[in-house]
């Protein structure tokens, strides 16, 4: 008897949680992001009309290394890896970490406009698309020169005003 009551209660609770708690609550937040390998500027347009501006800097500063400072034998069984390849891999890992940090800021988005130059904007788009909770958002990606804060705010305002129409 108790198991039947418990099963009925559990069924009702699951239906309630699916209808209220478990839904993805995507707000109508619009994001505009300008990004390169060193800096990301983010403007969030909220439904009630306010804008939130944020700048994220890639804190990685490549420390200059000198010939003979370290050993080149970094691979398995003492295989040598060129210093240039090692430095490129380290730079790439820091850029990936920076892109993940920027992608974490785009929560509860409806639309994301990505601006920037180079490959970093495509890497950011791929990172956002790979996240399950951001799978159904609209992403636009376009090339843009380096912008000042005022230029970026004006560009974002144009993008947000066309989004409202």
Banded model confidence at residue 16, pLDDT cuts 50, 70, 90: very low
Q: Decide which of 152 and 20 is more confident.
A: 152
- pLDDT value of position 10: 42
Q: Model confidence over 113-144: pLDDT tens digits? A: 999 988 999 999 999 999 888 878 899 999 99
pLDDT per position as a tens digit, 29-66: 899 999 998 899 999 988 787 889 999 998 876 566 66
CA distances from 151 to 18, 40, 146, 148, 157 (A): 44, 14, 9, 5, 10
Q: Which domains does the chain have, with CATH numbers?
A: 25-61+69-164 (3.30.420.60)
Burial class (CB in 10 A: 0-12, 13-18, 19+), 14: exposed
Report the C-alpha gap between 135 and 114 in whole angstroms: 16
CA angle 36, 40, 43 (to 5 degrees): 135
| Rg of the chain, C-alpha, whole Å | 23
Which pLDDT does position 69 carry in this prediction? 59
pLDDT given for residue 97 in this prediction: 93
The string of pLDDT tens digits covering residues 65-119 is 666 656 555 556 666 667 778 778 888 899 999 999 999 998 888 899 999 988 9
């Amino acid at each position: 008897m108790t198991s039947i009551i418990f099963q009925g209660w559990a069924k009702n609770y699951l239906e309630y949680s699916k209808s209220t708690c478990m839904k993805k609550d995507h707000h109508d937040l619009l994001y505009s992001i300008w990004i390169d390998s060193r800096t990301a500027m983010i403007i969030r347009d909220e439904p009630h009309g306010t804008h939130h501006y944020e700048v994220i800097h890639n804190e990685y500063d490549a420390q200059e290394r000198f010939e003979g400072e370290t050993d080149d034998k970094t691979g398995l069984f003492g295989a040598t890896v060129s210093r240039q390849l090692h430095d490129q891999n380290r730079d790439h890992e820091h850029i990936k970490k920076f892109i993940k940090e920027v992608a974490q800021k785009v929560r509860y988005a409806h639309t994301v406009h990505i601006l920037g130059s180079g490959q970093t904007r495509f890497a950011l788009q791929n990172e956002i698309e790979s996240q399950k909770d951001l799978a159904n958002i609209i992403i636009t990606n376009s090339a843009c020169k380096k912008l000042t804060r005022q230029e970026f705010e004006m560009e974002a305002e144009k993008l947000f005003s066309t989004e409202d129409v």
